[in-house]
Amino acid sequence: MASPYEILGVDPDADEDEVSDAYRELVKEVHPDQGGSTEEFRAIQRAYERIQSGYQPGDEIRPAGTATARTQTAAADEEQEAEQTEPEGVKVEFLNYEAMESHGWQLTDDDLFEKAATDELGGEAYGYFYVEENETLLEAAEDEGYAWPFACRGGACTNCAVAIVDGEMPSPASHILPKELHDRGIRLSCIAAPTTDAKIVYNVKHLPAIRDLLLPASRFEQTSSTD
């Protein structure tokens, strides 16, 4: 079985930045929105997570679900340690627009996130993560293993649009969003990040007002695979 370093295409002695850069390039290339396969995307996520959780060259690689009692104990200890460590950055609670729609909920519902929290959605539909300084919201989501939509990664297409339900998320000066949408709390996750704890609905590219601004992901394939 290939090592996590081999899957990411980096040397075993690569530093954190090199691993992170390689991971971000690969998830861009194999993202399901860009025509990649979900299996390949997940394999790259797992490789990155293994390196992040302390994998060393020479460590045994076991298929998912075959951890020994010792490694399970070590994992439980690490989990407990992680829980005791104060996370860095601002907390983002997220909800997938498609899950919101399928439940008949609205962006304007006062109790939108309370309903999401009590509905046991989980997975890609609902959850939270932390955004560290100098990260965009999209980068932070990808670092957590989520496949949020994107295309240009440069503020030019709206595929990565999110809606801020609570919190602050300033936009850089240059982006494609009309003022009216910006005033309604729509932001581009590829070029911005919350500056406070926030509640965010992602995948809002299906909102009619945003759909009109969408440019096809294929238009950015060259950029996405080489930038």
Q: Which residues bind ligand FES (CB under 6 A)?
A: 150-153, 155-160, 188, 190
> Of the two residues 30 and 151, which places its CB atom closer to ligand FES in the complex?
151
Q: Which is nearer to ligand FES, 44 or 188 (CB)?
A: 188
Closest CB to ligand FES among residues 55, 185: 185
Nearest CB to ligand FES, comparing residues 47 and 213: 213
Other C-beta atoms lying within 10 Å of the C-beta of residue 2: 10
Three-class secondary structure assignment of 35-72: CCCHHHHHHHHHHHHHHHCCCCCCCCCCCCCCCCHHHH
Interacting residues of 202 by C-beta distance below 8 A, sequence separation 6+: 94, 95, 96, 97, 141, 148, 149, 162, 189
Q: Please state, as a whole number, how many other Cβ atoms lie within 10 Å of the Cβ of residue 119.
A: 14
Token digits of residue 56: 């060393």
What letter would DSSP give residue 203? Answer: -
Please say which residue, 157 or 163, places its beta carbon nearer to ligand FES. Answer: 157
